[in-house]
Amino acid sequence: MKTVDGSLIITRENAAEYAELEMVTGDLYVNADFSAPVLTSVGGYLTVRADFSAPVLTSVGGNLSVLADFSAPVLTSVGGYLAVQADFSAPVLTSVGGGLYVRADFSAPVLTSVGGGLYVSADFSAPVLTSVGGYLSVLADFSAPVLTSVGGDLYVRADFSAPVLTSVGGDLYVRADFSAPVLTSVGGYLAVQADFSAPVLTSVGGSLTVRADFSAPVLTSVGGNLSVLADLSAPVLTSVGGDLAVQADFSAPVLTSVGGYLAVNADFSAPVLTSVGGYLAVNADFSAPVLTSVGGSLTVRADFSAPVLTSVGGNLSVRAYFSAPVLTSVGGDLYVLPDFSAPALPTLPDGDLDGWKKCGSTIVHLRVPTEAHRVGRPGAKCRAEFADVVAIEGSNDATSERGGVYRVGERVYPDSFDPLLTTCSNGIHFFMTRKEAQDY
């Protein structure tokens, strides 16, 4: 029988019957030793579970699964995926339309492209492979001397050489030594956990996590987060789109902006950094001489000088020496030490000062006498050493959430008064406008 319309299963009982088989339009399952000397094409899947010889087979339209020794000396294309789990020789195979899974030694000397993913967990030679459309997972030593692009993710878990690889469309995970001398871009996330050389890498579209020493001499931008857990050299890095966590010594001489938060847990120098979009936590020596704004909160637990910092969008918590001579605004609360100084930060005026306080659903009108100490700033919660009750809306008395009793015409005192600029501490709390008290 020369042609089979539909699928065919080769068994010990029928193998001799199909010795002159030329074509199978559907799937072919080889479950017993079989020689098909004139078979040229399989329209569907080809699954090889026993020794199989097809010396003139040129094409497989669907998937090819090699689970036993198979020689296809003139096979040029596989339309679907190719799974190699036994010795397989395909010396003129040029293309695989789907994924390629190499779990046994395999040589494909003229294979140029894999349309889907490529999984390498055994010795694999593909000296002219130029592109992988999907992911590439390297779990065994692999050399791809002319591979230029990987469309999906690249996982490097064994020694891998790709001397002309220029782009990775998805994520790149480096867990074994890897050199990519002409790689210019990674579209997704880059995780460096082993020695990695990328001397012309200019951009990482996603996040970058550095857990092993890494030099990126021309890297200019990281689109997502940057986590520095090992020595990183990035002398021309200008922007980090997301968060920046520094947990190893790091110098960023031309970094100008961090879009998210910045956590400094190791020595870090950013001489031209002007803005941090999120919060800034300074837990180690940090120099930012031209930093002008922090969008979120600022926590200072190590000495920090910010000579041109003008605004902090959230809270300011200072537990170490901090110099901010031109800081004019803090959007949230202050938590400071006795030696805290911010000479440009607005303060409360002297003399009698009217204020308002919310007690439950009631608004209390207060007047802070000239002789009473007061701390705070316009637009924020303030505190006074004592105050007189001018009026209570809808009543003659009110009780605060802490149990303080307010009566019209009487002077109220706190249990104690903290003269520091800390927002939430001892004192009579109030706001400078009724609306602020109402909205609190």
Cβ neighbors of 145 (< 8 A, separation 6 or more) are: 127, 161, 162, 163, 164
Cβ neighbors of 312 (< 8 A, separation 6 or more) are: 293, 294, 297, 298, 327, 329, 330, 331, 332
Q: What are phi and psi of 301, to 5 degrees?
A: -115, 0
pLDDT of residue 336: 87
pLDDT of residue 394: 84
341-345, Cβ contacts within 8 angstroms, sequence gap of 24 or more: 342/421, 345/377
Compute the distance between CA of residue 31 and CA of residue 64 in angstroms, rounded to an integer: 14
pLDDT of residue 285: 85
pLDDT of residue 287: 84
CA nearest neighbour of 181 among 216, 141, 134: 216
pLDDT of residue 186: 97
pLDDT of residue 244: 97
* Alpha-carbon distance values, 431 to 326, 354, 367 (Å): 24, 9, 11
pLDDT of residue 1: 59
pTM of the full structure: 0.84
Compute the distance between CA of residue 266 and CA of residue 253 in angstroms, rounded to an integer: 16
CA 9 to chain centre: 49
* AA identity, residue 197: S
pLDDT of residue 438: 92
pLDDT of residue 404: 87
Q: What residues in the chain have per-residue pLDDT under 50?
A: none
| pLDDT tens digits, 286-332 | 889 999 999 999 999 999 999 999 999 999 999 999 999 999 999 99
CA nearest neighbour of 36 among 87, 1, 64: 1
Cβ neighbors of 349 (< 8 A, separation 6 or more) are: none
| pLDDT tens digits, 96-115 | 999 999 999 898 999 999 99
pLDDT of residue 47: 97
